[in-house]
Amino acid sequence: MKLKTVLSFAFVATFLLSCGNDKSEKQSDNIKEKEATAFNFNVEQFADIKILRYQIPGWEQLTLKEQKLVYYLTQAGLAGRDIMWDQNYRHNLKIRKALEHIYANYKGDKTTANWSAYETYLKRVWFSNGIHHHYSNDKLKPEFSSDYLKELLADTNATLEGEAFDVIFNDADSKKVNQAKGVDNVALSAVNFYGPNVTNADVESFYKTKTSPNPEKPLSYGLNSQLVKENGELKERVYKSGGLYGSAIDEIIKWLELAKSVAENEAQGNALGLLIEYYKTGDLQTWDDYNVAWTAATKGNVDYINSFIEVYNDPLGYRGSYENIIQINDFDMSQKMKVLSDNAQWFEDNSPLMDAHKKKNVVGVTYKVVNVAGEAGDASPSTPIGVNLPNANWIRAAVGSKSVSLGNIINAYNNAGSSGRLKEFVHDEDELKLEEEYGQLADKLHTALHEVIGHASGQLNPGVGETKETLKNYASTLEEGRADLVGLYYLYNPKLQELGLVKDWKTVGKAAFDGYIRNGLMTQLIRLNLGDDVEEAHMRNRQWVSAWAFEKGKADNVIEKVTRDGKTYFNITDYDKLHNLFGQLLRETQRIKSEGDYAAVEALVEGYGVKVNQAIHAEVLERNKQFTSAPYSGFVNPVLVAKKDEAGEITEIKVTQPETFPGQMLDYSKNYNFLPEVN
């Protein structure tokens, strides 16, 4: 599971992961920070997107063997890049090829408004890995006509015809992932996990017949396949060598085998071997075996995330999107935060959950701050800031999990500049001062608590199925909200001060509560068009948590709605009572998950997390017009350049930075193009 950014990190009140406000830092840390600031983190901005760069701290401290491991793992990730494009939409690769051909070969007038609109559209498609917005899931709308695109195609001898051309301009396939209530979510989602004539009922009936060899260790059925209907019969097309996406997977395997040859230790090598076997066979038991081995392989300087993992893009939560993140340990920060994983059992024992829903033995929770060395697929260009894996509940309970926070990504956000949005939306000077002094520390701790304690907390009742089966299209947003609530509950707790993580737990907790409520009820709305419902799982969970607390606290005026000079603000009047409300909601969300209560999760999400107060939304959008910084940010990746001797052996690997976003996208399409247009 991944923690996504809340807003562009140009907005201060977000889930940052930085100790920038820790005034006890040593002078050497401050020097490093100044050096990092001299680096040009900004690449460009277009539409609602800001493109940034990130550095790889610690690269020079790695041995050549370790650098080779990082290089091979990065190449493996990029080899599967086009899988994500095809998973997102069946025409994406065909559309991208035509659009890129035009971009590279058009010799006409590039000073016109039409060409500018064309460039912006292509960049948005690149950023989203397809023609649907990376966050809202709405189809991107070009600000040029179909006639203009036909002219460009003719001028450059490019071809794009039929449905693939028409869909750019018509209303078909308008939503990549449709999570609306009371509709056929599969049939109305454009994501390419299902054939065009497959329905919700088909999916549910197909997987009801699947039984795991060991019911206590349920396999992740549907994770690595496309479900289609052929001659009226449902059939899985499995992602594997020789199967769906086989040509790209073979390339992934090639690089993973090279990575295995330079593994840091036996445990890491064994895990890589199982991942290779999984890609070769598509066997879901091998996938579980791999996850057990990967979770236990905690030693070494290098780690990675690779394969079909997160299920947010599946409206029913079965199928995993292709993802790759290569990580180098930040040992100093990891040691500082290790205290959370060491005390995971205390947090579980002292949570407000029902006793039956608490784990009696929280095992194997590891937490590290890492520096990203490369990303691909679902993690790029839009990246998470924290990840907790594996996702299988039984592995979490029996073996544990790995939680990582992407330190250099956060550092890039923090150094890329800021806007005045915070001052616009805080209630008063006290709230502003709290955020400025404690906001980054609060967000760092919230991320850590969300990933380490939140996702590892709680257990299902005996006999209750996996949440994708019981809670269906609400499973992802409930899990993210539940983990958020764990973080919120413990952020306002003296235990953090006792563990030496904060100097004043109340001020940090207050800053965290202010930021969460401000964002959940107001500021995240800048990401939506007026009139839109909230669709994305993380946005939904932040709204239903905040809106529920606001409503339940009305009798005691826990959160007051203030109107001043025609502007709306939300002011927390009683942090102790809000803390209790968060505890109550945490208890209820865990009950829903543990019992598989679909009616309750539907009422919670639909009642508080989907519909938007239109008057407040219009006001937020109007107040936001004064700020030029884009609401979303993403990254180009550093380029690892391997130098070889006459025998072909790598002698050195240098880190270089791409100059432009289009340059990297075109380079990727040229060098990592391993799939046909139609799969």
- pLDDT tens digit string along 292-311? 999 999 999 999 999 999 99
Contact 160, 101 (CB under 8 A): no
Grouping H, G, I as helix, E, B as strand and the rest as coil, residue 435 is helix
Contact 385, 409 (CB under 8 A): yes
Label residue 529 exposed, middle or buried (CB < 10 Å: 0-12, 13-18, 19+): exposed
Please give the biggest Cα pair distance in the chain.
Answer: 77
Hunting for tokens 């997160």 — which residue is that?
310
- Dist CA 367 CA 306 (whole Å): 18
pLDDT value at residue 386 = 86
Pairing label, strands 386-389, 567-572:
unpaired
| Judgement on whether residues 489 and 418 belong to the same structural domain of the protein | yes
For residue 321, tell me if it sits in a domain. Answer: no
For residue 643, tell me if it sits in a domain. Answer: no
Tell me which of 338 and 551 has the higher pLDDT: 551
| Judgement on whether residues 411 and 528 belong to the same structural domain of the protein | yes
Predicted structure pTM score: 0.82
| Judgement on whether residues 372 and 405 belong to the same structural domain of the protein | yes
pLDDT value at residue 411 = 86
Label residue 193 exposed, middle or buried (CB < 10 Å: 0-12, 13-18, 19+): buried
For residue 206, tell me if it sits in a domain. Answer: no
For residue 217, tell me if it sits in a domain. Answer: no
Confidence tier at 332 by pLDDT (50, 70, 90): confident
Secondary structure element (H or E) that encloses residue 655, with its range: strand 650-656
- Size of the chain, expressed as the number of residues it contains: 679
For residue 289, tell me if it sits in a domain. Answer: no
pLDDT value at residue 410 = 85
For residue 359, tell me if it sits in a domain. Answer: yes
| Judgement on whether residues 407 and 512 belong to the same structural domain of the protein | yes
DSSP label at residue 139: B
- Dist CA 506 CA 487 (whole Å): 14
**Is residue 17 scored above 70 in pLDDT?**
no
Q: Which residues pair with 238 in a beta bridge?
A: 225
662-677 pLDDT per residue, tens? 999 999 999 999 999 9
Ramachandran bin of 249, using left for φ above 0, alpha for ψ from -120 to 50, beta for the remaining angles: alpha
| Judgement on whether residues 532 and 664 belong to the same structural domain of the protein | no
| Judgement on whether residues 152 and 45 belong to the same structural domain of the protein | no
| Judgement on whether residues 530 and 437 belong to the same structural domain of the protein | yes
567-612 pLDDT per residue, tens? 999 999 999 999 999 999 999 999 999 999 999 999 999 999 999 9
DSSP label at residue 191: -
Share of the chain above pLDDT 70, in %: 94
96-154 pLDDT per residue, tens? 999 999 999 999 999 999 999 999 999 999 999 999 999 999 999 999 999 999 999 99
Per-residue burial over 471-507, b = 16 or more CB atoms within 10 Å of its CB, e = otherwise: bbbbbbbbbbbbbbbbbbbbbbbeebeeeebbeebeb
* Structural domain boundaries, residue 614: 2-57+330-630
Both tokens assigned to 153:
């195609």
| Judgement on whether residues 550 and 612 belong to the same structural domain of the protein | yes
| Inter-axis angle of helices 575-595 and 537-552, nearest 10 | 130
Q: Strands, E, within 87-231: which ranges? A: 225-230
Query: Count of domains in the chain?
Result: 2
Q: Rounded to a whole number, what is the distance in angstroms from the first to the last CA of the chain?
A: 27
- Dist CA 202 CA 204 (whole Å): 6
**Is residue 52 scored above 80 in pLDDT?**
yes
- Dist CA 532 CA 239 (whole Å): 34
DSSP string, 246-284: HHHHHHHHHHHHHHHHT-SSHHHHHHHHHHHHHHHH--H
**Is residue 402 scored above 60 in pLDDT?**
yes
Mean pLDDT of 53-72: 96
Grouping H, G, I as helix, E, B as strand and the rest as coil, residue 148 is helix
Q: Which residues pair with 635 in a beta bridge?
A: 52
| Judgement on whether residues 584 and 511 belong to the same structural domain of the protein | yes
| Judgement on whether residues 552 and 603 belong to the same structural domain of the protein | yes
Secondary structure element (H or E) that encloses residue 373, with its range: strand 365-377
- Dist CA 137 CA 261 (whole Å): 40
Among 223, 141, 132, 220, smallest CA distance to 178 is for 132
Per residue, what are the HEC states of 212-238?
A: CCCCCCCCCCCCCEEEEEECCEEEEEE
pLDDT value at residue 3 = 64
**Is residue 23 scored above 80 in pLDDT?**
no
Q: What's the chain's average pLDDT?
A: 92
Both tokens assigned to 27:
């002078």
| Judgement on whether residues 28 and 146 belong to the same structural domain of the protein | no
* CA angle (561, 565, 569) in 5-degree steps: 25
Label residue 147 exposed, middle or buried (CB < 10 Å: 0-12, 13-18, 19+): exposed
Secondary structure element (H or E) that encloses residue 567, with its range: strand 567-572
**Is residue 356 scored above 90 in pLDDT?**
yes
Contact 408, 24 (CB under 8 A): no
Sign of CA dihedral 271, 272, 274, 278: positive
602-656 pLDDT per residue, tens? 999 999 999 999 999 999 999 999 988 888 999 999 999 999 999 999 999 999 9
Hunting for tokens 């038991």 — which residue is that?
285
179-191 pLDDT per residue, tens? 999 999 999 999 9
Contact 267, 299 (CB under 8 A): yes
The shares of helix, strand and coil residues in the chain, as percent rounded to the nearest 5, are 50, 15, 35
Per residue, what are the HEC states of 288-311?
A: HHHHHHHHHCCCCCEEEEEEECCC
| Judgement on whether residues 25 and 110 belong to the same structural domain of the protein | no
For residue 72, tell me if it sits in a domain. Answer: no
Hunting for tokens 């340990």 — which residue is that?
329
Among 46, 83, 102, 352, smallest CA distance to 193 is for 83
Both tokens assigned to 118:
């064309």
For residue 271, tell me if it sits in a domain. Answer: no
Measure Cα distances from 235 to 202, 246, 278, 427 in Å: 11, 17, 20, 55
Q: Strands, E, within 580-649: which ranges? A: 632-635, 639-644
